[in-house]
Structure 1
Amino acid sequence: MTIHYPNGKKFVKKRISTDKNNVKQHENTFSNRGMRFEEDIQESCAFYLARDKAVIHKKPTPLQIVRVHYPKRSAAVVTEAYFQQPSTTDFNGVYRGRYVDFEAKETRNKTSFPLKNIHAHQIDHMKQAEAHGGTCFLLMHFRAHKEVYLVPAAVIVDWYENKDKTRKSIPKKDIEAAGYHVPVGFLPRIDFLKAVDDYIDSQDRKEDE
């Protein structure tokens, strides 16, 4: 089956090495794996689900089917499809009785996070979800530093809509000040619920003041 990304390029499945030494190194060292950021978050979500800590899943990317082959009357085979542009964010679910909704982003930049990595439809979605009591945020991965931060949606929206329009990125020092550091390890790989706890607790304290 031929699958195309939203930019029209064909989806090409990457070959996975079967060399035992490479596999062992891939499994044992987080940094050597290049982080596979979204996949690691999905594995963390599965870890939380298996331990009944949270129910959070990655939203499937919608497909537009353009060609179907019917080898039999009772069977249909999709032979060509396109990945559509998602209209919301990457992940959502329930934790501590709250609806949580977030996007996962990464950058190779060492000192800032490019605003071009965030899309208008994601901003709109997070604003709508938070208006209805949701807890929304971005998980930002600074690949060069192997650091991950939870950045509240309100901070992202403020930068995206109200800050100096000449800026094309958010300084890393501002993300460190406004965000919450996410531990990175083995099980779970991206322990983002610890940062979510810190964020929720800080919001509760503000409401009590």
Structure 2
Amino acid sequence: MDHNSPDVPGEDMGRRRGQPRERHAPRPLNRQKLDELALSYVARFATSAGKLSDYLRRKLRERGWEGDAEPDIAAIVSRFTDLGYIDDAVFARGKAQGLLRRGYGARRIDQALGAAGIAEPLREESGGTEMERRRAALIMARKRRFGPFGVREEGARLDPAVREKQVAAMLRAGHPLALAREVVNAVSQQALEEWIDEAGD
């Protein structure tokens, strides 16, 4: 056997163990590849026009462009919107409802929708009803054992320092001050349920 041959198993295995194979940089994008990336993205994720634009810009920075004309991201996003692949109103409602169900308030919802490129009028429409916002505050309080969900003797008042910490946490979750205080200061879980029902009257 010719031990100088590159086909010697020992040498091949040593090369594989000792040095990683060279990775070739991905080829720059052209119009077809950019379209394919956009289609793959909207197929996998519920998204907004802004998020799709950001994704395509990131891919162009990573891989470069070899098309004849400049890439027209706006045209791709507009076409996908016309085809119904992306719908900012549907995305905003779904995102807002998901955050409300997790106990987040209107300010956090507005921030999340703003980060997704949702226009302000749609953000305002998607923030939930007063009843939904109160219900979200109750969910947060129950999850974090705030106010009447905490462990304390029946009829005992909440320690002022603890109460302020709980109110601050509610504020960080996006709830307005008046609503946070209402929840934390509630005398019972039943009182909170009644307060939520009042918003539906």
Would you say same fold, with TM above 0.5? no
TM-score, normalisation: structure 1: 0.24
Structure number with larger C-alpha Rg: 2
TM-score, normalisation: structure 2: 0.24
| Higher-helix-fraction structure | 2
| Higher-strand-fraction structure | 1
